[in-house]
Amino acid sequence: MKPNTHRFGQAVIIGGSIAGLMSARVLADHFDKVLVLEREPFPEGPEARKSTPQGRHIHAVLEAGLKTMEGLFPGLRRELEAGGVEYIDMARDAAWLQSGSWKARYEGDIETILVSRPFLEWKLRGHVAALPNVELRTGYCVEELVLDASRTRAVGVKVKGPEGEQEIPGALIVDASGRGSRAPQWLEALGFGQVEQEQVRIDLGYTSRLYERPPGFDAWKILVLNGKAPESQRSGFISNVEGGRWIVSLNGYFGDHAPTDDAGFLEFARGLPTPAIYEYIRDARPLTDPVLHKIPSSRWLHYERLARRPEGFVLLGDAVCALNPVFGQGMTVSALGAKFLGECVARAKASPEGLPLEVARPFQKKLAGLIGLCWTLTTTMDLAHPRAEGKRPFGLKFLQWSFQNMIDLTSQHAASCRTFYEALHLRKGIMGLLQPGFLGALMVYNLKSFFVPRHKRANLDRMPARPGPSPRPGLGRVDVAA
Ligand SMILES: Cc1cc2nc3c(=O)[nH]c(=O)nc-3n(C[C@H](O)[C@H](O)[C@H](O)COP(=O)(O)OP(=O)(O)OC[C@H]3O[C@@H](n4cnc5c(N)ncnc54)[C@H](O)[C@@H]3O)c2cc1C
């Protein structure tokens, strides 16, 4: 069969951050021109931007997101490594106290990177800017969606820019404008009704600062401390990032936010479930002042459920779902969302009508499937805090109990830990957890939890050491001190 090389006219993307850049890359394969409209100027280098204040905080990349980025931007890996970004084996290089028990450490195969958000965004932006049919236009704030005469199809956007107000046409409009997206208001004003919204209020605050990394330090490359809900509502992270630095992020729920002064920041670190972070940073040299970012809620806008929608208008990234970042899913969901968008548009090329009607519906539905998995994971944990406000679905208590057991099991059983990492890093999706070996181990552990006290069946108090090379990289029981 002859390949379909038909190209559509102009695609317009609102927002030039992670979701916008990834979308620009995939749409460049299918459109004559892709125009990215960004309200803020881009910095020359790897600097945090005012419009994306989250960039000053730790940003983990899940394996599926990393692989998607590398697939779309050949040469990215080489550039990241040349810039001092480390590729790590999650199982070996992370020391992670999750929900009060330490993950087993072993030679594994889940690969990810430790990078600052501004550095990653800068590299992605460089690749996108180099695409011949993509234009990154800054200083343009999109204010409205423009419909055709039949009011069924989006055909452009109204923007405010240096030349004043104008309309810019687009055969496909992509909203990648982040959590502050105005799409719900636009759609309602245009007569498409209210977008259903799901929300879990957590009043989370991240306070972060950069430190100089002590030379030669290699006990871990990323250290994560999450206490068990509801007793503990604080978490902390230290991660290597490029430039020989550590990024240290401390967070707390329900207004328990780490202060931004030196003494308060350290004191908060001391109050984490273990004082490990405090002990590592108290003598380290800070490079920046602490900054605080507040996240009122995890929020999911269900565009896939709209009864009527304008064709030619799709949304992705935080504009659709802004998750509690504790599992580091947002950029990966954005990258995978962009990949799905490319697939939907490619399929639509086969349509004889030109740019197909019906890109929006299948795309939003597919995206919702992915978000659902991430949403369940994070909100199950969030809702373990009685103060978290949100819908508590039937069976939640059982899910939380089983989830906690699964986490505790991963502290003692490397094979189960591997299955858990595969699901978390979106290698296999939730179905990955349904493997007979894993389910069997979890069922036995669930039973055990009735008879054996937690401290005797989970590693609650000993940070596992980095495993040395072993002749048979082992996925079995690991040694845990009682
Ligand atoms: C504290 C914190 C920590 C996080 N940690 C992680 C992590 O560890 N791992 C991870 O994967 N994710 C993490 N995230 C989530 C991650 O930051 C987002 O999921 C990711 O940035 C995707 O966002 P986006 O591109 O959809 O939107 P954003 O990054 O918010 O960007 C939106 C862009 O749209 C532009 N814009 C907005 N309105 C308009 C308009 N009207 N016209 C033109 N331009 C507009 C903005 O200027 C901005 O550039 C974290 C988030 C927070 C808050």
Phi-psi region of 212 (alpha: psi -120 to 50; beta: other; left: phi over 0): beta
What's the 317 CA to ligand 1 centre distance in angstroms? 7
Q: Which atom of ligand 1 is nearest to the CA of 206?
A: 1
Mean pLDDT, the chain, as a whole number?
Answer: 93
**Amino acid 353: pLDDT:** 63
Amino acid (one-letter) located at 440 = G
The response to whether residue 274 sits with its C-beta less than 6 Å from ligand 1 reads no
CA-140 nearest atom, ligand 1: 43
**Cα separations (Å) of 240 from 120, 123, 133, 143, 217?**
14, 18, 36, 39, 10
**Cα–Cα distance between 51 and 433 in angstroms, integer?**
37
In this structure, the strands spanning 291-301 and 321-322 are: antiparallel
Predicted pLDDT at 436: 87
Q: Give me ligand 1 centre to Cα 330, in Å.
A: 8
pLDDT in tens, 380-437: 999 999 999 999 999 999 999 999 999 999 999 999 999 999 999 999 877 778 888 9
Residue 55 has pLDDT above 50, yes or no: yes
Give the separation between CA 470 and CA 457, rounded to whole angstroms: 25
| Residues paired with residue 222 on neighbouring β-strands, in sequence order | 94, 239
The rounded Cα 283 to chain-centroid distance in angstroms is: 31
Tens digits of residue pLDDT in 243-259: 999 999 999 999 999 99
Q: What percent of the chain has pLDDT over 90?
A: 88
Q: Which amino acid residue places its CA nearest to atom 5 of ligand 1?
A: 59
337 Cβ inside 6 Å of ligand 1: no
Q: Is 449 in the pocket of ligand 1 (CB under 6 A)?
A: no
Nearest CA to ligand 1 atom 12: 330
Token readout for 21 is: 């850049």
103-107, 238-242, 435-439: which has the minimum mean pLDDT? 435-439
Q: Does any ligand 1 atom lie closer than 6 A to the CB of residue 206? A: yes
| Cα–Cα distance measured from residue 117 to residue 122, given in angstroms and rounded to the nearest whole number | 8
* pLDDT for residue 99 is more than 70: yes
pLDDT at 433: 82
pLDDT band at 318 (very low <50, low <70, confident <90, very high): very high
Closest CA to 447 of 394, 402, 399: 402
CB of 317 within 6 A of ligand 1: the answer is yes
Spatial distance between the Cα atoms of 121 and 17, rounded to a whole number of angstroms: 7
**pLDDT value of residue 471:** 44
SS3 per residue for the chain: CCCCCCCEEEEEEECCCHHHHHHHHHHCCCEEEEEEEECCCCCCCCCCCCCCHHHHCCCECCHHHHHHHHHHCCCHHHHHHHCCCEEEEHHHHEEEEECCEECCCCCCCCEEEECCHHHHHHHHHHHHHCCCCEEEEECCEEEEEEECCCCCEEEEEEEEECCEEEEEECCEEEECCCCCCCHHHHHHHCCCCCCCEEEEEEEEEEEEEEEECCCCCCCCCEEEEECCCCCCCEEEEEEEECCCEEEEEEEECCCCCCCCCHHHHHHHHHCCCCCHHHHHHCCCCECCCCEEEEEEEEEEECHHHCCCCCECEEECHHHCEECCHHHCCHHHHHHHHHHHHHHHHHHHCCCCCCCCCCCHHHHHHHHHHHHHHHHHHHHHHHCCCCCCECCCCCCHHHHHHHHHHHHHHCCCEHHHHHHHHHHHCCCCCHHHHHCHHHHHHHHHHHHHHHHCCHHHHCCCCCCCCCCCCCCCCCCCECCCCC
The β-bridge relationship of strands 321-322 and 101-102 is: unpaired
pLDDT value at residue 474: 42
Tell which one of 12, 144, 177 to mutate to probe ligand 1, the residue whose CB is within 8 A of the most ligand atoms: 177
Ligand 1 atom having least distance to the Cα of 316: 26
| pLDDT average, residue stretch 286-310 | 97
**Ligand 1 center to residue 345 CA distance, Å?**
24
Q: Is the CB of 56 under 6 A from ligand 1?
A: no
- What is the per-residue pLDDT for 480? 35
Residue to probe by mutation, ligand 1, list 331, 374, 378, most atoms within 8 Å of CB:
331
Domains of the chain (ranges; CATH) run 8-80+116-198+297-372 (3.50.50.60), 201-295 (3.30.9.10)
Mean pLDDT, rounded, for 364-372? 95
Residue 37 in contact with ligand 1 by CB distance below 6 A:
yes
332 lines ligand 1 (CB under 6 A): yes
Give the ligand 1 atom nearest the CA of 179.
Answer: 30
> Is the minimum distance from the CB of 39 to ligand 1 under 6 angstroms?
yes
Mutate which of 51, 68, 181, 332 for ligand 1 pocket (most atoms within 8 A of beta carbon): 51
**pLDDT > 50? residue 481:** no
Say whether pLDDT at 3 is over 80: no
Q: Which of 117, 140, 142, 291 is the best mutation target for the ligand 1 pocket, counting ligand atoms within 8 Å of the beta carbon and taking the most? A: 117
* HSE, side-chain direction, 13 A CA sphere, residue 318: 22
Is the pLDDT at 237 greater than 50, yes or no?
A: yes
Going from the Cα of 104 to the center of ligand 1, the distance in angstroms, rounded, reads 32
Q: How many other CB atoms are there within 10 angstroms of residue 249's CB atom?
A: 23
- Please name the residues in contact with 129: beta carbons below 8 A apart, sequence gap of 6 or more: 136
206 Cα to the center of ligand 1, angstroms: 15
Task: Report pLDDT for 167.
Answer: 98
- Asked whether residue 241 carries a pLDDT value surpassing 60, the answer given is yes
- Cβ 14 under 6 angstroms from ligand 1: yes
Torsion angle in degrees (nearest 10) through CA of 67, 69, 72, 78: -90
Tell me the C-alpha to C-alpha distance, in Å, between residue 141 and each of 319, 320, 322, 338: 15, 19, 21, 22
What pLDDT is stored for residue 428 in this prediction?
81
Residue 466 neighbours by CB under 8 Å, 6+ apart = 92, 93, 105, 218, 219, 220
